[in-house]
A and B are shown apart, each in its own frame.
Chain A
Amino acid sequence: MISEGKAWRYGDNIDTDVIIPARYLNTFDPKELALHCMVDIDKTFAQKVCLGDIIVGGKNFGCGSSREHAPVAIKASGVPVVIADSFARIFYRNGINIGLPLLEIGSNVEKIKADDRLKIDTATGKIENITTGDIFYAHPLPGFVNDIAKAGGLINYIKEKKSNA
């Protein structure tokens, strides 16, 4: 899938509490969660994010809680992919499992600034910074984790496996 949008740039250790604070966890309706996405770190995000925009974080993006509400809120905001130096482990699983591509590019992430225009091919992991001309490739997903991502998430993957059995 190829997508293009503006970079919303955040720092290191963006935790699940700021992605979606606990006070909104009494629902799991994606649209409602999207209304509060990133609210404790960036009040403008939920109002101004456009379909196709991309979140770019630093190290350990998504650290903290196992709440899948966090990647769900991001996906429901219209963000098709998140780029970071590294992702926290549970968030990384959750992203793959719900079909939200997460691209790890290490310290190259420092070359992406707020509002840069990015073009991303999630199938190949190619990230093109249209604003600066830089091109990066994300670390590929290993083995069947890539199959889960390709299936659009773990539930589809399991269903496909079941129907092929």
Chain B
Amino acid sequence: MGMNMTEKILAMHAGHEKVSAGQLVTCKLDMVLANDVTAPPSFKEFEKIGGPVFDNKKIALVPDHFTPNKDIKSAGLAKTVREFADKHSIVNYFEVGRGGIEHVILPEMGIVAPGMLTIGADSHTCTYGALGGFSTGVGTTDLAVALATGEAWFKVPETIKVELTGTKPHNITGKDVILTLIGMIGVDGALYKAIEFSGEGISSLSMDDRLTISNMAIEAGGKNGIFPVDEVTLAYIKDRIKKSYTVVEPDTDAKYCQIIKINLSDLVPVVAFPHLPGNTKKVSEIENIKIDQVVIGSCTNGRIEDMKIAAAIMKNRSVYKDVRCIVIPGSQWVYKESIKRGYVDIFVDAGAAVSTPTCGPCLGAHMGILAAGEKCVSTTNRNFRGRMGHVDSEVYLSGPQVAAASAVLGRIAQPDDLQ
């Protein structure tokens, strides 16, 4: 029996010729990531182990959650990260104004590559599966040990194969693909499992689509969400990745615990209703739901294509009078590019507020907190109870095209409703 992509990457990094589902392995890590929420407690644990960091070039520290700092306590957290980065000469430290949201900048800057094994103290670290690497989220203790030893333990997961056929229609985004999948299998449908995407439908997905899809593998309970490396991947990484990398392909006789088929041609815009990413409904079947806020951004949908899609819809239109629309480019590069291409003008002219990169509203940290009873359409990744503010507020997850159309119409809508 051959190995699938996840098994191959774990085997490579564990120094084994072969691994199979259920096996416990200790792997060498290529990249270790943390942010301003998770890094500071891990430094405390790291000190208990003692010694230097395992490799100052294989650690990325990105203050992005409570930044620009929202209060004195969070300023203290960011300061701790800054001082650690300085003390240990961390190469990949990205200060506010020089980076952006961790999962947007690591692929964008060529820090993660195909075949790499990355762990991050942030659950959406699974994003880098889009590039054909194994990446997964861990907590602060795993992170502390990784900083010291460059290693982490894993149970080799069983893998679900998601076969994508057909071609993605023009009004569909990566977000619709992943929300549809989570709607099918539920928020624990991939619990303790890997998700491997395959099929000819992948070629119609852009890199930004794939990053969005892999980002939300965790919302199905998945350990990772991995894509094969194709021409689209190679074109994306060509000028970004300077180091050598390994393209991993699944064996033809690789084992999968489940096969799920999705025909991309059949997809329609969907939203996830409160309070789970798996509560998906087709936008066309939704009754009039009046909204108070729209957020376009985050590590899920804060990339240039998301800005492009939203700008195309908001051009020469206005945000509905009763709605606040917050647009957050995910990185300094996305921000600058959005200015250059005229997207920021379009957003501002439409009456949206455009912010510097931050995770702020996604986790209810700051900027865009909801009051009791308020409803928000958001391109972020979670809509748990109280996620974006008051426990009696509601978050509806969508792609950027649905979010932008909803901002204009003041209710949950899709671009077709604007005609």
Which A residues lie at the B interface, using CB under 8 A? 13, 15, 17-18, 21-23, 25-28, 40-41, 59-60, 63-69, 71, 86, 88-90, 93-94, 97-98, 142-145, 148, 153-155, 158-159, 162
Contacts and interface: CB of A to CB of B under 8 A. Distances in A.
A55 to B, nearest CB: 17
B24 A142 contact: yes
Contacts of B70: 26
B122 interface: yes
> For the side of the interface on B, what is the size category?
35 or more
Contacts of A89: 191-192, 221, 223
A26 B76 CA distance: 9
Interface in B365-402: 365, 382, 384-387, 391
Nearest to B76: A26
A40 B386 contact: yes
Contacts, number: 133
A44 to B, nearest CB: 14
Given A59-B188, A60-B191, A67-B139, A17 B37 contact: no
B139 A28 contact: no
B41 A68 contact: yes
B365 A155 contact: no
A88 B191 contact: yes
Interface stretch (B92-100, B141-149, B197-205): B141-149
B322 to A, nearest CB: 25
22 contacts: A13-B188, A13-B276, A17-B363, A21-B386, A23-B365, A26-B73, A28-B140, A40-B385, A60-B188, A64-B123, A64-B384, A66-B125, A67-B139, A68-B38, A90-B218, A97-B139, A143-B24, A154-B141, A155-B49, A155-B144, A158-B145, A158-B149
A21 B388 CA distance: 10
A97 B141 contact: yes
